[in-house]
Each structure stands twice: as structure tokens, then as C-alpha cells.
């Protein structure tokens, strides 16, 4: 099985080599001036169960590396992107990261679609002292802070806090939780249980469902029969939350239903149908790019990324590709400020990133914050008439 997943993406290396050559010739310098490329190594879950993460991430990196090279590269040097597909397997991720570091001698690593793959590679990046920007969600990646490791997506804890903030604003203090038992649901459930006290929210029912379950009415019946529930929070991912939403409507539970950012995709609305009306969730601004007010500081970046991605790949933009966009441009920005690819200088420059506007929000790294996002990065959305509406 493992062997099948070994699928190095030579194509992207070749096309980039060509692109690099073309850039060198276009610059009029000829071969003598050809600069050593900046090597960006990446391992992503392009296939396998986490392919919905890795696929848009790879497409984003490819697209923008091409664009940067066409514009003359970074600090006068072309970029070379090396992508390996870990198939969602942490072991494969570790193997490929070793190859990136030892054989490909990359200058920095952007990758790790899943938390598992990221955590398998963290020790390697730390030991080799190579900057590593992860695209995975969990808070363990940057807490405690690791010198060489950064990440771009929001954490699940922030999603909990954003939801609780909205609940408090609506006078809700007693809630029921239902969570998937997959990695995402389990982690977010723990974070929510932990964060609830700070918002004086009491969780009176705590149910779970398996990632492949097709019926959650028993769990929701228990929630319905629990005294005093003012809202229900579902931490989950994939098709589970869509079924929860349908069963919720089927049982006629008449309190607000909150979902997590894990369902922030058009397919959720499609799968849940009419039952999704009125559901609230925190999500990245990317989801409502065109609906953001003109003066929103994030508008420009999310609208241009969304349009570029959808035009190039003819598929809807996803927040996951946005994480790769943020990571790439944080790295480019840092290399430009450092003026070199010396790993220590690039690491320091990444850590000094401030006021960087990405698809996930404004990034301000510091020596003790390698995530650099705050709650404003999330937008509270409600589903109305089958589409997302900003409710802040």
C-alpha cells in the first residue's frame, strides 16, 4: 500500500525548471547569469482521504510559483517548487520530508495538509534548522512554540471561541454539544469543552457520532430531551454535520444550531438542503469574498485569490488552498526582507512578519506566537436562502 503512494511530482519540477530557464533568458543575461533557484519543498495530501485539503493546496502553490517566476522570481532568483504526495500518511510525510531536506536541499518547507503529517515532520525541520510553515489546523503544532515551525490556518480553539462569543452576544449560556469522533471533531470538542468556562457557557449534553455514521437521531433525541438546552454546537467535518443538520430539522428541535468551520463549503449547503437554513458557523472571509464590504481590509486579497484560483482551475475556491497562499506569500515576503535564503535569516524574518494580510486574516508573528491570527480572522456566517450571509 505504502509503495503506491510514492508519487513524486516530477512534472512540476520539470515545468518549473523550464520556467526558470525561460526567465533567465528573458532577463537577457543568458546562462552565465542564471541564478541558483530558491527551492521550496512541499509534502501535501494530494490523494487519499485528505485530498480535499492537499489538492487545492498543490494547485495554489503551483499557480503562484508560476506567476512569481513569470514576474522575475524573488530577490532576482527563480523559485523551484518540489511537491511530494504523502497520501495523508504521516509515515510517508516523514520519508518525503527527509528527502526534501537531504536530497533536494530545499531552502524552506511549506506543507503538511494534516496535523498528523505535520507533527511527523516537525522534529526533522527542527533538527535540520529549516523554516517550516504548516498548513494544518491543530493547536499542538505551534503550542508550545517551536523555533522553526509556523502555521497559517486558524485553530479549532479559535472557532470555539468565535462561536461562544456569538452565543454570549445572543444571550445563550446553556448548550448541548455533538461531535464527530474523527480527528477534527475530537480535537475541537476538547478545545470547546476547555474554552467554555471562560465564556460562562455550560455544556449540559455531550454526544458523539462516528465519522461514517448515517443517522444521528438517537443522539439528537437525547439532546432534545435534555432540560434547558438553548443552542446546539456540532463539531465535525465531512458528511456527518450535514446529516446532523438534517436530523436536527427532522426532529424539529427549535433552538439555534451552530456548526464549525469544518463545514464551510458549498457542498454542506447542498447536502443539508433546506435543513441548513438558519445554521450559524464561523468561517474564513474567503467564503464570502465578494460580499465583504468595500472597506474591509481583507477584501482585496481574498477576492483576487478567489478569482485567480477559480479562473485557473475551474473549481470553487476552498479555504484550504488559501492556507497555502498565505504560507507561500509569508515566505516570499520574509525572503525579500531577509534578502537571502539563509535559513536562520529567513526564520527570523518570518517571525518578524507583521500586518501581513492573508486569506485567513492579518498575520502578526512574534517569538511566542507562531500562528499570528486573532478572532477577527473568523467571520460569523448564517445560512439564509441557501447561501452564506455575514451576521456581524
Give me the residues that bind another protein (CB under 8 A), please: 51-52, 181, 207-210, 212-215, 217-219, 221-222, 225, 238-239, 242-243, 246, 249-252, 267, 270-271, 273-275
Q: Which is nearer to another protein, 30 or 252 (CB)?
A: 252
Judged by beta carbon, residue 47 or residue 364, the one nearer another protein is 47
Instruction: Give whichever of 65 and 188 is closer to another protein, judged by the CB atom.
Output: 188
Which of residues 207 and 351 has its CB atom nearest to another protein in the complex? 207
Among 327, 349, 352, CA closest to 340: 349
The nearest distance, CB 320 to another protein, in angstroms, is 14
Three-class secondary structure of residue 12 per DSSP: helix
With beta carbons less than 8 A apart as the criterion, state whether 203 and 175 touch: yes
Closest CA to 387 of 287, 240, 297: 287
User: In sequence order, what E strands does 86-238 have?
Assistant: 108-111, 132-134, 149-151, 174-180, 202-209, 231-235
CB atoms within 10 A of CB 171: 7
Alpha-carbon separation of residue 146 from 80, 194, 339, 344, 370 (angstroms): 26, 23, 24, 14, 8
CB of 86 to another protein, least distance (A): 17
User: Cα separation of 107 and 155, whole Å?
Assistant: 26
Smallest gap, in angstroms, from Cβ of residue 187 to another protein?
16
Least Å distance, CB 90 to another protein, is 20
**Shorter beta-carbon distance to another protein: residue 195 or 249:** 249
> Residue written as cell 513569470?
70
Q: 313, 199 in Cβ contact below 8 A?
A: no
Compute the least distance from the CB of residue 288 to another protein, in Å.
21
| Pairing status of strand 202-209 against strand 149-151 | unpaired
- How far apart are CB 270 and another protein at their closest, in Å? 7
- CB 283, min distance to another protein, A: 19
Q: Which is nearer to another protein, 48 or 348 (CB)?
A: 48
**Which residue, 35 or 186, has its beta carbon nearer to another protein?**
186
Q: At what angle do helices 240-250 and 217-224 cross, to 10 degrees?
A: 50
> How many CB atoms lie under 10 A from the CB of residue 6?
13
Residue closer to another protein by CB (options 8, 49) is: 49
Which residues lie across from 382 on neighbouring strands?
280, 389
160 by Cβ neighbours in 10 Å (0-12 / 13-18 / 19+) ranks as buried
Nearer to another protein, 79 or 192 (CB): 192
What's the min distance (Å) between Cβ of 144 and another protein?
A: 30
Report the residue number, 229 or 249, with the smaller CB distance to another protein. Answer: 249
On the 0-12 / 13-18 / 19+ scale of CB atoms within 10 A, 314 is exposed
Cα radius of gyration rounded to whole Å, the chain: 22
The secondary structure of residue 49, as a DSSP letter, is T
**Biggest CA-to-CA distance, the chain:** 77
Give the nearest distance from C-beta 228 to another protein in angstroms.
Answer: 17
Residue 179 grid cell: 461531535
Give the residue from 283, 181, 280, 162 showing the smallest Cα distance to 231: 280
Q: How near is the Cβ of 190 to another protein at its closest, in Å? A: 14
Amino acid at each position: 500500500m505504502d509503495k503506491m503512494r510514492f508519487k513524486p511530482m516530477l512534472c512540476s519540477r520539470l515545468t518549473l525548471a523550464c520556467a526558470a530557464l525561460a526567465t533567465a533568458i528573458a532577463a537577457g543575461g543568458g546562462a552565465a547569469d542564471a541564478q541558483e533557484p530558491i527551492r521550496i519543498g512541499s509534502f501535501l495530501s494530494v490523494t487519499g482521504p485528505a485530498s480535499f485539503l492537499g489538492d487545492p493546496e498543490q494547485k495554489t502553490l503551483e499557480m503562484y510559483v508560476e506567476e512569481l517566476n513569470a514576474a522575475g522570481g524573488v530577490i532576482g532568483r527563480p523559485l523551484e517548487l518540489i511537491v511530494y504526495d504523502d497520501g495523508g500518511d504521516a509515515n510517508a510525510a516523514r520519508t518525503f520530508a527527509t528527502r526534501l531536506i537531504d536530497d533536494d536541499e530545499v531552502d524552506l518547507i511549506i506543507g503538511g495538509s494534516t496535523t498528523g503529517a505535520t507533527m511527523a515532520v516537525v522534529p526533522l525541520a527542527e533538527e535540520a534548522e529549516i523554516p517550516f510553515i504548516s498548513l494544518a489546523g491543530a493547536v499542538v503544532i505551534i503550542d508550545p512554540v517551536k523555533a522553526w515551525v509556523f502555521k497559517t490556518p486558524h485553530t479549532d480553539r479559535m472557532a470555539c471561541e468565535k462561536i461562544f462569543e456569538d452565543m454570549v452576544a445572543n444571550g445563550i449560556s446553556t448548550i448541548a454539544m455533538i461531535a464527530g469522533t474523527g480527528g477534527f471533531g475530537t480535537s475541537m470538542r476538547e478545545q470547546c469543552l476547555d474554552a467554555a468556562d471562560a465564556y460562562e457557557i455550560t455544556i449540559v449534553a455531550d454526544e458523539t457520532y462516528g465519522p461514517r455514521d448515517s443517522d444521528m437521531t438517537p443522539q439528537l433525541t437525547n439532546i432534545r430531551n435534555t432540560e434547558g438546552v438553548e443552542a446546539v454546537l456540532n463539531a465535525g467535518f465531512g458528511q456527518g454535520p450535514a446529516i446532523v443538520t438534517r436530523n436536527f430539522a427532522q426532529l424539529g428541535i427549535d433552538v439555534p444550531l451552530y456548526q464549525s468551520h469544518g463545514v464551510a463549503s458549498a457542498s454542506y449547503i447542498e447536502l443539508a438542503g433546506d435543513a441548513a437554513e438558519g445554521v450559524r458557523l464561523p468561517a474564513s472571509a474567503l467564503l464570502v469574498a465578494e460580499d465583504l464590504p468595500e472597506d474591509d481590509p481583507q477584501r482585496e486579497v481574498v477576492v483576487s485569490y478567489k478569482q485567480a484560483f477559480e479562473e485557473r482551475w475551474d473549481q470553487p475556491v476552498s479555504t484550504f488552498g488559501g492556507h497555502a497562499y498565505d504560507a507561500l506569500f509569508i515566505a516570499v515576503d520574509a525572503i525579500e526582507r531577509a534578502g537571502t535564503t539563509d535559513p536562520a535569516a529567513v526564520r527570523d524574518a518570518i517571525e518578524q512578519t507583521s500586518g501581513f494580510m492573508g486569506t485567513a486574516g492579518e498575520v502578526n508573528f512574534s517569538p511566542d506566537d507562531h500562528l499570528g491570527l486573532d478572532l477577527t480572522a473568523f467571520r460569523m456566517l448564517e445560512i439564509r436562502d441557501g447561501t452564506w450571509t455575514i451576521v456581524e
